């Protein structure tokens, strides 16, 4: 049957090539589209998971409510009525019981590393140029175990920050905005107006403009000194041995009322929602490709079968069974699907490879020159190929079944 | 191996119109039989029922005393492949395949294409088509195409050949040639041949001539001059 199927395909070359092109382009489009979307996602997930904490323990901001002071002003069996109920927020930039937390993290076998941090909102000043931003106080040896900071360092080392309290590592955008060179001095002013001088020891670029233009790293002690709060920690970044445990672990630790505990999924919930929209788009596109490729095959095979009725009658009369006829046309559809799928995978790979080598940068966004993040996950290629094969197989089945059911005598009589 | 039709009726449409009205006859092994009659007399319909391609509305078609309707489809297909040859008015060759491949088509189904290859070439040479065995059907004349169809019908050395107006689309020279081939095949192989024709001259070349009128047998005429030889040569 393969011989007959192949010969018939070969005999109508133009039709075969056009059908192949349709399937190939469908599969390639799926692969390229998925490669770009998943590449972007992998990049963002990498940023979320590896550039920040798996679980972040941070200072809890407590709202002041009507009942907040009941225990202060009233006995348990008394009710307190306010003329003007209290409102506001008990702002606290510190985790109350840091040592307890650190002890707890140290003893937890799921925890790979943890790094205390202090985030301070400040004003950066160089001469007359000022810019507001944020300083993150870190312990470099611990911070680098939690997040992959070092690979974003353009100049200098994080370790220097620990060695010398007057050194600061600026985001590249921030450094450029303030017109600073390495080794220059910068003034950092805290919310109370206290100013301190620092020496620019290096810079980093994460690739995120917001971060690169506002953030600077100093050692934890230095940050505490800028904030005027010795020993204070606003966040503890935790890296787990198994990233999949982030959410349950955060839920478990959330029972402790003293701090806000969020997993990376909770922190980036809005971004993960975007991924779901992306998935929807991808699935819709897959469905469209499936339908288009399927209809292509369906139409072509239906036309071919209606043109080949006489041949079907001949084959049936010389002993070919209905299943043989079905096999011939199914084989043709599946061969087209297989070849179209293979070619589509190759073309898709070429497109992805080309895209991943195109460098671009945005002068407006001041991002560094980079290449498009394209995923080469083998599953994209497997799905692309299977999709082409599946859609063509399903689409071939109906016309092939019809051909298999054709009665030779009805064809000869001209009734089919 | 004989074919017997017992009170066969074939009706079409709704309300049903009987095209074949209770026909009974038997074709014996090695016979050369023509079915004749006017257009619409039901001769092709009768041929297709006798050849198992079509089923009667009522009545029986018995192949070596076995009711075709009771046979398993797989067995019937195998029987058709290995013991029956069909020739149609419009030769119906497969256009994508060469002449040789067309002849070998039943052998391909039976899985004996390689074994039958030399035989196919011999057949084509016998029918003066040796030079065009690698041609496509589109490169052949009508007469040549019909001879290829006959070669295809003969490749499995069938016990039966059914031909529906095999000369209908041919000029007189080619038509005579085809009929002579039939006679020769019947004489040399002992293969039973049943053919439909409305040409009186060709009908008379058969051992027996069955004349149909309005779906019924009007007469069965035996032609002693063309009766089969008792000894069968292969």
Strands B66-67 and B84-87: unpaired
**The pLDDT value given to residue B101:** 92
Contacts of A3 in chain B (CB under 8 A): 108
The nearest alpha carbon in chain A to B158 belongs to A318
The nearest alpha carbon in chain B to A10 belongs to B96
The nearest alpha carbon in chain A to B91 belongs to A314
Name the residue range of residue B124's domain: 29-54+72-226
Determine contact: B73 vs chain A, CB below 8 A: yes
Question: Is B131 part of a structural domain of the chain?
Answer: yes
Q: Residue A46 — pLDDT band, cuts 50, 70, 90?
A: confident
Q: Using one digit for the tens of pLDDT, what is the confidence trace for B57-92? A: 988 888 878 888 888 888 888 888 888 888 887 767
- Minimum distance, in Å, between the CA of residue B224 and any CA atom of chain A: 32
Q: At what angle do helices B142-154 and B99-110 cross, to 10 degrees?
A: 20
Determine contact: B54 vs chain A, CB below 8 A: yes
Distances B133 to A61, A62, A271, B45, B113 between C-alpha atoms, Å:
92, 94, 69, 33, 15
**The pLDDT value given to residue B226:** 64
**The pLDDT value given to residue A124:** 92
Which tokens sit at A360? 């671009």
Contacts of A412 in chain B (CB under 8 A): 48, 53, 88, 164
Segment A113-132 mean pLDDT: 89
CATH of the domain at B206: 3.40.50.300
Segment A247-253 mean pLDDT: 85
Question: What is the count of structural domains for chain B?
Answer: 1
B53 contacts A408? CB cut-off 8 A: yes
Q: Using one digit for the tens of pLDDT, what is the confidence trace for A172-200? A: 999 988 888 888 899 999 888 888 889 99
A409 contacts B96? CB cut-off 8 A: no
**The pLDDT value given to residue A415:** 53
- Minimum distance, in Å, between the CA of residue A318 and any CA atom of chain B: 5
Average pLDDT score, chain A: 85
Determine contact: B131 vs chain A, CB below 8 A: no
How many CB atoms are located within 10 Å of the residue A321 CB?
Answer: 19
Residues of chain B numbered 201-230 and touching chain A (CB < 8 Å): none
What is the C-alpha to C-alpha distance for residues A172 and A226, in angstroms, rounded to an integer? 21
Strands B208-213 and B32-37: parallel
The DSSP H or E segment spanning A129 is strand A129-138
Asked if pLDDT for residue A349 goes beyond 90, the answer is yes
Contacts of A408 in chain B (CB under 8 A): 53
Segment B33-38 mean pLDDT: 89
Contacts of A310 in chain B (CB under 8 A): 90, 92
Question: Is B2 part of a structural domain of the chain?
Answer: no
Contacts of B78 in chain A (CB under 8 A): 319
Contacts (Cβ under 8 Å, ≥6 apart) of A62: A89, A90, A92
B53 contacts A317? CB cut-off 8 A: yes
Asked if pLDDT for residue B118 goes beyond 60, the answer is yes
- Sorted by where each begins, the domain ranges of chain A are 2-48+271-413, 111-240
The nearest alpha carbon in chain A to B93 belongs to A311
Question: Is B12 part of a structural domain of the chain?
Answer: no
Q: How many CB pairs under 8 A join A and B?
A: 60
What is the C-alpha to C-alpha distance for residues A338 and B211, in angstroms, rounded to an integer? 55
Which tokens sit at A170? 């600026």
Segment A224-253 mean pLDDT: 86
Distances A314 to A180, A205, A414, B8 between C-alpha atoms, Å:
86, 73, 14, 25
């Amino acid at each position: 049957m393969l011989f007959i199927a192949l010969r018939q395909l070969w005999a109508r070359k133009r039709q075969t090539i056009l059908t192949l092109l349709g399937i190939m382009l469908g599969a390639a489009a799926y692969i390229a589209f998925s490669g770009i979307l998943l590449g972007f996602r992998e990049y963002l997930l990498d940023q979320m998971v590896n550039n920040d904490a798996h679980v972040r323990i941070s200072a809890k901001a407590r709202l002041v409510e009507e009942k907040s002071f009941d225990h202060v002003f009233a006995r348990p069996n008394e009710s307190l009525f306010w003329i003007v109920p209290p409102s506001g927020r008990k702002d606290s930039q510190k985790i109350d019981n840091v040592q307890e937390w650190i002890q707890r993290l140290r003893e937890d076998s799921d925890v790979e590393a943890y790094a205390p941090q202090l985030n301070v909102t400040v004003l950066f000043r160089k001469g007359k140029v000022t810019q507001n931003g944020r300083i993150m106080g870190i312990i470099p040896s611990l911070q680098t175990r939690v997040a992959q900071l070092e690979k974003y360092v353009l100049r200098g080392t994080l370790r220097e920050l620990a060695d010398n309290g007057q050194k600061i590592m600026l985001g590249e955008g921030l450094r450029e905005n303030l017109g600073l060179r390495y080794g220059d001095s910068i003034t950092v002013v805290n919310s109370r107006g206290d100013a301190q001088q620092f020496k620019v020891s290096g810079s980093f670029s994460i690739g995120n403009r917001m971060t690169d233009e506002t953030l600077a790293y100093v050692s934890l002690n230095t940050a505490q000194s800028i904030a005027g709060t010795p020993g204070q920690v606003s966040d503890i970044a935790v890296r787990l041995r198994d990233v999949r445990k982030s959410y349950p672990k955060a839920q478990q630790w959330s029972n402790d009322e003293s701090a806000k505990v969020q997993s990376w999924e909770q922190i980036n919930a809005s971004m993960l929602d975007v991924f779901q929209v992306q998935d929807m788009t991808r699935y819709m596109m897959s469905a469209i490709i499936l339908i288009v490729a399927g209809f292509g095959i369906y139409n072509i095979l239906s036309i071919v079968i209606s043109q080949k009725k006489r041949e079907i009658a001949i084959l049936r009369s010389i002993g070919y069974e209905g299943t043989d006829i079905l096999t011939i046309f199914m084989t043709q559809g599946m061969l087209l699907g297989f070849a179209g799928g293979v070619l589509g995978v190759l073309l898709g790979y070429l497109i992805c490879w080309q895209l991943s080598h195109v460098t671009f940068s945005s002068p407006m966004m001041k991002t560094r020159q980079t290449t498009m993040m394209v995923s080469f996950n083998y599953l994209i290629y497997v799905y692309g190929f299977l999709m082409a094969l599946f859609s063509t197989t399903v689409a071939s089945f109906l016309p092939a079944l019809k051909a298999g059911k054709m009665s030779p005598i009805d064809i000869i009589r001209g009734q089919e | 191996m004989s074919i017997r039709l017992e009170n066969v009726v074939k009706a079409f449409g709704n309300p049903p119109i009987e095209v074949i009205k209770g026909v009974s006859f038997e074709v014996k092994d090695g016979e050369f039989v023509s079915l004749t009659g006017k257009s619409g007399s039901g001769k092709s319909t009768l041929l297709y029922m006798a050849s198992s391609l079509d089923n009667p509305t009522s009545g029986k078609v018995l192949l070596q005393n076995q009711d075709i309707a009771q046979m398993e489809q797989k067995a019937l297909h195998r029987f058709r492949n290995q013991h029956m040859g069909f020739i149609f008015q419009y030769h119906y060759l497969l256009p994508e395949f060469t002449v040789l491949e067309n002849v070998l088509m039943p052998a391909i189904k039976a899985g004996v294409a390689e074994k039958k290859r030399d035989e196919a070439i011999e057949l084509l040479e016998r029918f003066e088509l040796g030079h065009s065995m690698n041609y496509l059907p589109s490169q052949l004349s009508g007469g040549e195409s019909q001879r290829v169809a006959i070669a295809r019908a003969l490749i499995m050395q069938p016990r039966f050949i059914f031909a529906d107006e095999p000369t209908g689309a041919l000029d007189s020279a080619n038509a005579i040639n085809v009929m002579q081939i039939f006679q020769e095949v019947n004489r040399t192989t002992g293969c039973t041949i049943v053919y439909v024709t409305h040409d009186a001259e060709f009908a008379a070349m058969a051992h027996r001539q069955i004349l149909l009128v309005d779906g019924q047998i009007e007469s069965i005429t035996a032609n002693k001059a063309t009766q089969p030889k008792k000894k069968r040569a292969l």
